[in-house]
Amino acid sequence: MPLWKLLVFSFSNDTWKSSVQEAVRYLGLKRAPPYFNDGRTYHYDVGVVVALEGEELEGIRKLPFDWTECPVAHDPSRYFIGTVVTPTRSLRIVAVASPRMGLTPAAITATKLISLFRPRMLVMTGICAGVRGKSALGDILVADPCFDWGGGKWIFDKLSGKQSFLPAPYQWRLNESVRSAVRAAGDDAELMADVHASFKGGKPASPPKVIIDAMASGAAVLQSQQAMDEVRAQHKNLVGIEMESYAVFCAAEYAGNPQPLVLSLKSVCDFGDDKKSDDFHEYSVFTSSEFLRGLLMSDRVPIGY
Question: Which helix H or strand E contains 178, and what residues bound it?
Answer: helix 176-186
pLDDT > 70 in the chain, percent: 89
Average pLDDT rounded to a whole number, residues 112-139: 95
Q: Are 32 and 107 in contact (CB under 8 A)?
A: no
| Res. 64: pLDDT tops 90 | yes
Q: Which of 248, 269, 244 is closest to 102 using CA atoms?
A: 244
Mind listing the pLDDT tens digit for each residue in 247-264? Answer: 999 999 999 999 999 999
Least confident among 36-40, 108-112, 132-136: 36-40
Q: What is the pLDDT of residue 62?
A: 96
| Res. 265: pLDDT tops 80 | yes
Q: What is the pLDDT of residue 75?
A: 92
Could you tell me the sign of the dihedral formed by the alpha carbons of 233, 236, 186, 79, in that order? Answer: negative
Q: Which residues lie closer than 8 Å to 299 by C-beta, 6 or more apart?
A: 86, 88, 89
Q: What is the pLDDT of residue 1?
A: 47
Q: What is the pLDDT of residue 21?
A: 63
Q: Which of 136, 138, 164 is closest to 152 using CA atoms?
A: 164
What is the residue-wise DSSP string for 141-165?
Answer: EEEEEEEETT-EEEEEETTTTEEEE
Confidence label for 11 from pLDDT (cuts 50, 70 and 90): low
Average pLDDT rounded to a whole number, residues 20-40: 67
Average pLDDT rounded to a whole number, residues 115-133: 95
Amino acid letter for position 217: S
CA–CA separation, 225 and 275 (whole Å): 9
**If you average pLDDT over each of 25-29, 137-141, 230-234, which comes out highest?**
137-141
Least confident among 61-70, 150-159, 199-208: 150-159
Average pLDDT rounded to a whole number, residues 26-30: 52
| Res. 83: pLDDT tops 50 | yes
Q: Helix 281-297 and helix 176-186: axis angle, to 10°?
A: 110
Going along the chain from its start, the domains and CATH numbers come out as 46-297 (3.40.50.1580)
Average pLDDT rounded to a whole number, residues 117-128: 96
Mind listing the pLDDT tens digit for each residue in 174-215? Answer: 999 999 999 999 999 999 999 999 999 889 999 999 999 999
